[in-house]
């Protein structure tokens, strides 16, 4: 099988490519990535010499380039997305271009080249915010996005479903909870806090830190995507969660404990605009239909993640320095 992976130099996409090449030794992968700030070819240093792997630098919204890559492709897996809520609040234009228009271009290419199998990576943020006692998100939860980022992802999800209903394109969608693990860009909560502490800086907690998220280790996420690709029903959505609901403050305290740091390293900062209170995923459908089950509990996953950042300072220091220089 020949697969076009978009956004494969990013955090989750790079884990997917590594996983796939390690598990399906005869499959070929083309990685299409524009290498914006969160795309990093160093994430894939260990596979760049694999004869079944090819990197192409480019934009998923570039219809000419996308169609040039289609010959021989059997499957498109779309990770490419602008994904940081704070950045979308400051400027939403790139989010609309990549997440909506880019997805449309890929869907058109899949439709016009024989009706290719298409898997779309989405987020639990499209469902909005839960109250403390609300049931968890599932595949039937109405969409209620609250940020420009989540609105753009909701739009792309609707487009993907429309191509199934209108054009019979064999699509699937996965909505996942918050990912964490190695190679995550150090603006996200867990790598930001770990790398701040490793450089003697405090960790900025929004508001009181009582916002709750469900956390899934990235290796569990890509394993779930594999199950959806192999066993998922066309036209269906599958929610993937880590069964690890924690408040941001609890996550912060767990990181501090793992790193032997006092709670005085916490700095409470002004809350994010429109900050959703709680996300939680019910992945019963993926469990019952696909056999999906997270293999990492939060304690072991966090420990593995912290150790990776401790051992890979050269990787994240360059990114952190570049990010700080642009502020």
124 counts as catalytic: yes
Task: Please identify which of the residues 149, 183, 279, 309 carries the catalytic annotation.
Answer: 149
Task: Please identify which of the residues 33, 59, 82, 124 carries the catalytic annotation.
Answer: 124
Angle, vertex CA 64, rays to CA 16 and CA 95, nearest 5 = 55
User: Following DSSP, what letter does each residue of 81-143 receive, concatenated?
Assistant: ----HHHHHH--HHHIIIIIIIHHHHHHHHHHTT--EEEEEEEGGGG----TTSPPB-TTPPP
Task: Please identify which of the residues 125, 157, 219, 220 carries the catalytic annotation.
Answer: 125
Please state, in angstroms and rounded to a whole number, the distance separating the CA atoms of residues 193 and 140.
34
24 counts as catalytic: no
46 counts as catalytic: no
Please state, in angstroms and rounded to a whole number, the distance separating the CA atoms of residues 94 and 295.
35
Question: Angle of helix 103-112 relative to helix 148-167, nearest 10 degrees?
Answer: 20
What does the H/E/C string look like for 217-246?
A: EHHHHHHHHHHHHHHCCCCEEEEECCCCEE
Enumerate the active-site residues. Answer: 124-125, 149
């Amino acid at each position: 099988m020949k697969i076009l992976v978009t956004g494969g130099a990013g955090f989750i996409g790079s884990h997917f490519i590594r996983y796939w090449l390690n598990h399906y030794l005869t499959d070929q992968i083309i990685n299409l990535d524009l290498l914006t700030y969160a795309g990093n070819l160093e994430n894939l240093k260990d596979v760049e010499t694999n004869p079944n792997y090819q990197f192409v630098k480019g934009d998923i919204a570039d219809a000419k380039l996308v169609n040039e890559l289609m010959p021989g492709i059997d499957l498109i897996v779309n990770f490419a997305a602008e994904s940081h809520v704070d950045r979308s609040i400051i400027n939403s234009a790139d989010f609309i271009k990549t997440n909506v228009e880019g997805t449309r271009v890929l869907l058109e290419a899949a439709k016009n080249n024989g009706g290719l199998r298409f898997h779309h990576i989405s987020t639990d943020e499209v469902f909005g915010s839960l109250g403390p006692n609300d049931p968890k998100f599932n595949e039937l939860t109405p969409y209620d996005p609250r940020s420009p980022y989540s609105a753009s992802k909701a739009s792309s999800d609707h487009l993907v479903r429309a191509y199934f209903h209108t054009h019979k394109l064999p699509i699937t969608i996965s909505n996942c909870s918050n990912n964490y693990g190695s190679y995550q860009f150090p603006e996200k909560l867990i790598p930001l806090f770990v790398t701040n502490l490793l450089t003697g800086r405090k960790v900025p907690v929004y508001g009181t830190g009582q916002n709750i998220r469900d956390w899934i280790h990235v290796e569990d996420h890509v394993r779930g995507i594999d199950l959806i690709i192999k066993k998922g029903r066309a036209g269906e959505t599958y929610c993937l969660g880590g069964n690890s609901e924690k408040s941001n403050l609890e996550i912060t305290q767990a990181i501090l404990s793992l790193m032997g740091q006092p709670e005085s390293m916490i700095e409470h900062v002004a809350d994010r605009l429109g900050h959703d209170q709680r996300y939680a995923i019910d992945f019963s459908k993926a469990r019952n239909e696909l056999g999906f089950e997270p293999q990492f509990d939060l304690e072991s996953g966090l420990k593995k993640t912290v150790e990776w950042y401790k051992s890979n300072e050269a990787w994240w220091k360059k990114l952190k320095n570049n990010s700080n220089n642009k502020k």
